[in-house]
Structure 1
Amino acid sequence: MYRILIVDDEKDERNVIRFLLNKYQFPFDIMEADNGKSALELLEGESIDVLITDVKMPFVDGMELAARVRALSSHVEIVFFSGHDDFTYVKKALTLRADNYILKPVKPGEFKETIEKVLEHIKVYEQELEEKEANKDFMKKHILYQVLNQTPIEVLEKDYAYVDFSFLDDYNRMILIHSDQSFWDTLSEEENIRLDEKISKVISNSRYDLINLNPSQVILLFKDDCNRLIAYRQLASDIWQQLHQVYRIGCFFSVSEEIKTGEDILSIYNKLDRYLDDRFFHPHTYIYPVDSPTVASHELGAEDEQLIQDIEQSIQQMEEDKLTEAVQRLIQKYEQQGSTSHIYLRFLFSRVLQLLSKIVPEYSDGKINKEIEKVYTLPHFEDVQQLIWQVHHKAAQKIKEEKNSSKDNIRVVQQYIADHISEDLSLDILAEKAFLSPGYLSDKFRQETGYGINKYIKNVRMTKTKELLRDTNRKVNDISKAVGYNSVSYFIKNFREHYGMSPKKYREMNQDKG
């Protein structure tokens, strides 16, 4: 329903207009005022879509009323009616962008035609507004997608100078949803809509945006600033139940800390991604970061946290000597201390064991879990030390073996991706081809190329897509399958997010240039 205001100092004239509006069943809530002054007072607390006003009235005439209404809202439709067939009035009405000028007495047919034209204008305006909002929403999601894929905000601000980037500050928290299967691109357009509806139903009381990062990951960005972390962890649990019940897939959720500014979005996303590395340590846990019940009240001290980071960095950089040094320093620190909580020490060295095991392929989920269980059951600290050194020896040996061949392994993976771009390229498959553990391959690939594997695969697929669009006449549906997307709608959506335009538009702009 739209709102219409009839303004005339003669009640009979207002009644005629009301009668005709009802007769032709026009979709209006009808309001009335007996002069321009009363109309302006009414509009202080009400908004309208259409103004029908007499020209000659006491206090404030129709022309002044229209001018002041136009100043309040540029999209209100204005219709004048008067008994004065005067060109001066008509000319002035046109300068106020009035939709028509009707003479009294009002002729029903003329009135009906005029109001139909007014409604048509309103619907055109609404459609333009919807398209503008849709484009605005698309552009925001495109920018978010670029930010989450490591594009610096300052670069995007130059590329999209017409966009107000303050919208990034609206977000207060994130939830990363990850599936080890290639799931999100297997859904049809209808299934995607149903899935969005299910998630939306769970998150009915929150304002959020959803970004498809890759076939394995989706990000939810929330605009609510009143909820505590525990509320979002419960939300993640509710979504997990929906996905598990309906699709029977294994999903993991990583829930962020509070986002202070838009500039923090990328760093917090990277932290969420790292939290998921712990699923190797906690295979039956689906919400991260893990709150271990045995050490809920403990956090690592600054010095211990630095040593843990040194161990992790030395593994990533394949530096055997630095790894041995960092492990040695941590063990020596607590060898002679008898006052430290044994629960804290077990937690600390289970972290070390987890890091060391990531580089050793023989440690499957089950085996490393058993080793970690030992950390919590061994009676003496020297037993824990011995276990740590055993695993350290295997990790150091692996570093020696892999140090000189890691670049070759990455090249093997890159070539396999290029040669099998139309196939499933899961991390497990690629790790098997390179004879590496999935976790180690993921870390090494990022270190060698500067990209995560999922992002690299997507870039290769998008680059191949551009080539096929530019140099061939193959259908978009065929190209989608040729570059590894089973769902055409998901493929088109990813292309639009990646390049800011549809495949069809890209082909139109670039095929002749090939």
Structure 2
Amino acid sequence: MVTILIADDEKLERNGIKLLLKREGAECEILEAENGKVALGILMDRKVDILFSDIKMPYMNGLELTEKARELYPNLEIIIFSGYNDFTYARDALRYGVVDYVLKPVNPKEFHKTFERVQGKIQSRIEDEEKQTRQGDYLKKYFLQNYLYKGNVEDYQQVQAYAQEMTDEKNPYIRMIIASSTNHFFETEEEHFVESLKEKLKRDFFYLNLNSNESLFLFREKYADYEELANQLNHFFQQHYDTNCYFAVSREVSGIQEMPEEFQQLEQLLEEKFYQPKQHIFVHGKKVESTEDVIVEDSEILNNISEDIKFKDITHLWQDFHRLEQKYTTDKPYSEMYAKFVFSSILKEVYEAMSSSEEKGLSKKVDQLYHCKTIQDVRSITSTAIQELENYLQEQNEGFRSEITEVKSYIYHNYEKELNVEILAEKVYLSAGYLSAIFKEATGMNLNRFIREVRMNKAKELLENSTKKITQIAREVGFSNTSYFCRSFREFFGSTPESCRKGEMDDKETEAEV
């Protein structure tokens, strides 16, 4: 709402201006002052958008008021009222930035034109300020994303320049939570949930969209229970949007300098969602709650082990094997013959996965296992076989590199299609978790980030070299939501799609490595 101050020593004149303003139908708050001194006091006490002032007033005339008002508010819109004989004074007021003057008696038509002109200037200024704020926000997010993913000193300096709240030593962001979905939730719902989430949590946070499946939340509270906060986030997304998300909670960081390393740890921690699908909260530094601590059916563990062997996922094969070992220890009751049957089944799958293994070698190992006198010996034989498999797969490492190449090639040629870790893993016959891990190891970035970079760079190419509409380009690079595409483009490159098309993007801002 616009705030208007009318300064005139004649009450009748002030009432006349109020009547004209009422006819304009503008939503505004009207303040009155009977002289320039009182008007200055009001201006010093609160912000005003438009000042209507008479030239001649006691204690402080309109020219004096105009000069002091301009010092307080450089953007204040000032309109002077004057009689014909005071025109010289009104003309002098123009050097103080008076927008216009209106001769008395006031002509309603002239007043309408003047007021309309002033409103247009105010609206234009508001739009310019909002545009600058949005551009600053996009640049802040652009440099912050680059800094989190790459940890470059240059990006850190830009974050300092564009985001003072990020480097506020008195009130720094000390905790991060990454939220991960599997249904492109942050592309379709990002516009709607941020403000309602702030209202629900009753706390402030900084929100950074990473891609259509991942977002980052930054918090300042030092003594909050962040695991419980992650549970609240999970409940919010389930209750209001019927979507399943996974959350990785950081350790406390002492400043933005520590964020890139901690961010990488959170991304790695989120990989556990592929192997612990029933668990939605992962806290860095806290032992992941696993089924070692509860009664687990052998069939569940054996099925996981079969999947690990099938997808050549040695890391989780060892984890699942150790879970099974915990069930068969000397201080727990078990059937000796059944235990040997369980471990021999693993032995068979391990040797079958090594194509060069001979059937005689497998029979010999199984026979050796069944003649074991202790469970430790049974576990040792199976463990040795898994180690052999690990060594075998390491020799086949070239195959993994070819699978990464195949995944990258598929993304390059199918960026317009729905893409996620699960879909890509099926293409190369690996588990989603294992593909995610080896892709990050090979390329230095996770798959979601890689997909986004490919799409953004293709969008930039189309903007620069075609006349296609932005809506069409968004669809062609895999975005169903044009509004989200434009926000993502600005946050990725630091410039709008329109600026890119006009060739106004800064060269430094267009750097994006894939």
Tell me which interval the TM-score lies in, with the shorter structure as reference length.
0.7 to 0.9
2:85 matched residue in structure 1: 85
Aligned equivalents of 2:326 and 2:501: distance in 1? 59
Matches of residues 167-246 of structure 1 in structure 2 within 5 Å? 167-169=165-167, 171-185=173-187, 187=188, 192-196=190-194, 199=197, 202-203=200-201, 205-222=202-219, 227-230=224-227, 232-242=229-239, 246=241
The TM-score normalised by the length of structure 1 is 0.73
CA separation in 2, counterparts of 1:388 and 1:425? 42
How many corresponding residue pairs? 443
- 1:279 Cα deviation (Å)? 2.9
Map of 1:166 onto structure 2: 164
Match for residue 63 of structure 2?
63
* Alignment map for 1:32-181 (pairs within 5 Å): 32-83=32-83, 85-150=85-150, 152-155=152-155, 157=157, 163-169=161-167, 171-181=173-183
Alignment partner of 1:267 out of 240, 261, 270: 261
Alignment correspondent of 1:7? 7
Deviation track 1:142-194 (CA, whole Å, cap 9, x = no partner) reads: 22332333252424646x99x43423235343321112455544x3xxx5544
Whole-angstrom distance in 2 between the partners of 1:475 and 1:11: 57
- CA deviation vs aligned residue, 1:343-366 (integer Å, no higher than 9, x gap): 9xxxxxxxxxx99x9788477999
Query: Counterpart amino acid of 1:242?
Result: Q
Distance (whole Å) between structure 2 residues aligned to residue 123 and residue 99 of structure 1: 15
Q: 1:361-372 maps to which residues of 2 (within 5 A)?
A: 361=311, 372=323
Report the Cα offset of residue 504 of structure 1.
Answer: 4.8
Partner of 1:400: 392
State the TM-score, normalizing by the size of structure 2. Answer: 0.73
Whole-angstrom CA distance in 1 between matches of 2:233 and 2:380: 35
- RMSD of aligned Cα (Å): 3.9
Per-residue CA deviations over 1:243-300 (Å, capped at 9, x if unaligned) read 6xx44x43211123344322233223222212223334533111111866989xxxxx
- In 1, Cα distance between equivalents of 2:475 and 2:227: 41
Inter-CA distance 127–430: structure 2 relative to 1 (3 Å threshold): closer
Question: 1:499 corresponds to which residue?
Answer: 493
Give yes or no for contact 1:40–1:65 (8 Å, CA) kept in 2.
yes
Q: Are the aligned partners of 2:4 and 2:52 in contact in 1 as well (CA < 8 Å)?
A: yes
The 5 Å alignment of 1:421-436 reads 421-436=415-430
5+ residue gaps, structure 1, are 296-341, 344-353
Tell me the CA shift for residue 426 of structure 1.
2.7
| Percent of matched pairs sharing the same residue | 30
- What residue in structure 1 maps to residue 247 of structure 2? 253
| Cα distance per residue 1:207-240 (max 9 Å; x no partner) | 3343331232122234566744255234323324
d(CA) in 1 for partners of 2:499, 2:289:
56
Q: CA deviation at 1:372?
A: 1.7
**TM-aligned CA distance change 1:372 to 1:207, over 3 Å:** same
Partner in structure 2 of residue 375 of structure 1: 326
Q: State the Cα distance separating 1:420 from its structure 2 match.
A: 3.5
Task: Provide the C-alpha distance between the structure 1 equivalents of 2:20 and 2:435, rounded to a whole number of angstroms.
Answer: 75
CA-CA distance at 1:477 after TM superposition = 4.7
Q: Which residue number in structure 2 is paired with residue 455 of structure 1?
A: 449
Structure 2, unaligned runs of 5 or more: 294-303, 333-373, 505-514
Do the aligned residues in 2 keep the contact of 1:233 with 1:255 (CA within 8 Å)? yes
- Name which of structure 1's ranges 360-369 and 6-15 shifts more when overlaid on structure 2: 360-369
Query: CA 1:385–1:250 in 2, change beyond 3 Å: closer, same or farther?
Result: farther
Residue of 444, 449, 460 corresponding to 2:438: 444
Distance 1:471 1:280, change over 3 A: closer
Q: Report the Cα offset of residue 18 of structure 1.
A: 3.4
Task: Name the amino acid aligned to 2:17.
Answer: I
Distance in structure 2 (CA, Å) of the matches to 1:213 and 1:119: 39
Deviations 1:37-86 (A, max 9, x none): 22223333222122222222333222111111111111221122233624
* Cα distance in 1, alignment partners of residues 56 and 148 from structure 2: 61
